[in-house]
Structure 1
Amino acid sequence: MKRLAIYHLETLLWIARLGTFRAAAERLNTTQPAISARVREIEEQLGVALFRREGRNMVLTARGRALVADFEPLWAGFESALFRASDFGGATGIVRIGSGEIAAASCLPPFVCELERDLPGVTLEIAIDLTARMLQQLLAGTSDLVFLAGPVASPGIRTVCLGSVALVWVAGRDTAARVQGKAVDFSALPLWSIPENSPIHGVMHESLAQLGIAARVVRTCNNVRTLIEIVVHGGGAALLPAPMIRAELARGDLVELLPPPERQIRFEAAIRSGERDPLILELFRRVEGLRIEATALP
């Protein structure tokens, strides 16, 4: 009978965190059969069942939950001691980061470069997505750190503010030339937005209501950069984040069409409130120094 090794207990911990053997295998850069074999070895050594099958899923038994609860703080302390001894320079592993386009175009690149320099053993996996999906992925444990539009209120996450971003009503040069100086008829002018699950969509409707404008149809695109190109090429008007249209405004490719809304979009970095992984906590500590530029008007 094999003795238990650290990797056995690490495996158990990640299954408990992520919910499936497959997710734990991806996190630990191994295969699902290898994860299953490790679980069998733990159960044989302890003489108790740690998981039971419910449908397609394997869930912890009461004994399994108790073992995880006892072991998790010990594992966090063990990792912290090793990381502190090397000033985190010896940290290894995969960190999954989710980001919205605005953060990805501003504060994320220098943050990533800093991590690559200081933590060369850490592999970053970055996915660009919308706030609603990133929040789901964070709570599900498939993302470790996310940069999202807020404010986000959830007992399951811990956040730090990165700043706020101004929004600007714009149209392409030719479109603006046709409507400026006139009462803008939004029933005739195509109106574009990020989808409904984005805070920008809500601010757009608030702004239109305050301006007394009724928009019959709102077209949506879930990619801000593509949306900018649509508007630049005469596809209509949109409420866009100022930091992402600096160059287009400066060149005159985009023209401010209406007064900007008073409300700005707050951006936050978030981790799970119960996060104990010392590497993720170190990254979150570093995030506190990041700031997203509020405006980018020329």
Structure 2
Amino acid sequence: MLVMKRIALFHLETLMWIERLGTFAAAAQRLNTTQPAISARVREIEDQLGVSLFQREGRRMVLTARGRRLVQASEPLFRGLEHVLLEASDFAGAIAAVRIGAGEIAAATCLPAFIQAIERERPGVTMEVELDLTVPMLQQLLAGTRDIAFLAGPVAGPGLRTAPIGSVALVWAAGPAVIARGGFSQTLPVWSLPEHSPLHAVTMATLEEHGLAPRALHTCNNVRTLIEIVAHGEGAAVLPETMVCGHLATGALAEILPRPRQAVHFEAAIRTRERDPVILDLFDRACRLRIETIPDDMEPA
């Protein structure tokens, strides 16, 4: 009988993260340790089993057939034991570093309450929040460098598990000086988020709907900066109502065209193969979030 006295749960967890992220360095960062420590763990398992578990393909470390079988067989056991222990303690002892991706609109609406709840109820969970546009966040999520993402949707794919968390109405806005000069009765520059963002799609669709040709179409990848540019500049933009309601109330911005029928819909997303019980617990919480709702007759962007 083979006796494996030195193989521990952290050895199996190491294998799972190398397999998921593709390099020892990425696994070391994810597990908050060093690359030499990761290499040492792999050597310990290989010495214990007497087989090679990884082979190098370019810059990535790829599991051998035996290594792949070991990970496939042990991951459900590892996650099941981890979940049982966390559930027994009502997740009170949950310790993890969770990497969260969010767009600015989600970050300005539902994300603060989500983070406050995690800080209060899961004090052992460290959160790494990064704001970005939907396309790069989606790529990061699928690559395993983000754990949970709040995306402008709808998004779909064989590697994603998503849940709707609400929608945000949009407004065409400009600064008061632009409105005073007649708004779109003159040819104006238009500002937008970059191409492939929902706001850009709505911008182009509504310009076409109203038969308007902008003097120039500028882009900026930061919504708050976009708001300030429009408030103090010469152009107009489609902006999320939840982020400009204060500007509209004070007169720093004014609506320049009828509100678009389209709205931006948001979803919480994780990978379909995600088995980490802490991430699954946080995703369950994220599914219960609700961004400010919109009228029923609005269309998705």
Aligned residue in 2 for 1:24: 27
Segments of 5+ residues of structure 1 without an aligned counterpart are none
Would you say the 8 A contact 2:96–2:126 is kept in 1?
Answer: yes
Would you say the 8 A contact 2:141–2:271 is kept in 1?
Answer: yes
After TM superposition, give the deviation of residue 3 of structure 1 in Å.
Answer: 1.2
TM-score (norm 1): 0.95
Does residue 44 of structure 1 match 2:47?
yes
- Residues 87-236 of structure 1 aligned to structure 2 (within 5 Å): 87-180=90-183, 184-185=185-186, 188-215=187-214, 217-236=216-235
Q: Structure 2 CA distance, aligned partners of 1:100 and 1:65?
A: 35
C-alpha root-mean-square deviation of aligned residues, in Å? 1.4
Match of 1:9 among 1, 6, 12: 12
- CA change 1:275–1:89 in 2 (3 A) is same
Identical pairs, percent: 63
Would you say the 8 A contact 2:97–2:125 is kept in 1?
Answer: yes
Would you say the 8 A contact 1:98–1:126 is kept in 2?
Answer: yes
Between Structure 1 and Structure 2, how many residues are aligned?
292
Cα deviation per residue 1:45-94 (whole Å; 9 max; x = unaligned)? Answer: 11111110112221111111111100110111011001101111110010
- Residues 199-278 of structure 1 aligned to structure 2 (within 5 Å): 199-215=198-214, 217-278=216-277
One-letter identity of the residue aligned with 2:26: A
Does residue 70 of structure 1 match 2:78?
no
Q: Secondary structure at the match of 2:98?
A: strand
Segments of 5+ residues of structure 2 without an aligned counterpart are 296-301
Would you say the 8 A contact 1:243–1:295 is kept in 2?
Answer: no
TM-score (norm 2): 0.94
After TM superposition, give the deviation of residue 289 of structure 1 in Å.
Answer: 1.4
Would you say the 8 A contact 2:188–2:216 is kept in 1?
Answer: no
Q: Structure 2 CA distance, aligned partners of 1:243 and 1:295?
A: 11
After TM superposition, give the deviation of residue 2 of structure 1 in Å.
Answer: 6.7
One-letter identity of the residue aligned with 1:50: L
Q: Structure 2 CA distance, aligned partners of 1:15 and 1:173?
A: 55
Aligned residue in 1 for 2:58: 55
Q: Give the ranges of 4+ consecutive aligned residues of structure 1 lying more than 6 Å apart after TM superposition.
A: none
One-letter identity of the residue aligned with 1:150: G
Q: Structure 1 CA distance, aligned partners of 2:250 and 2:214?
A: 28
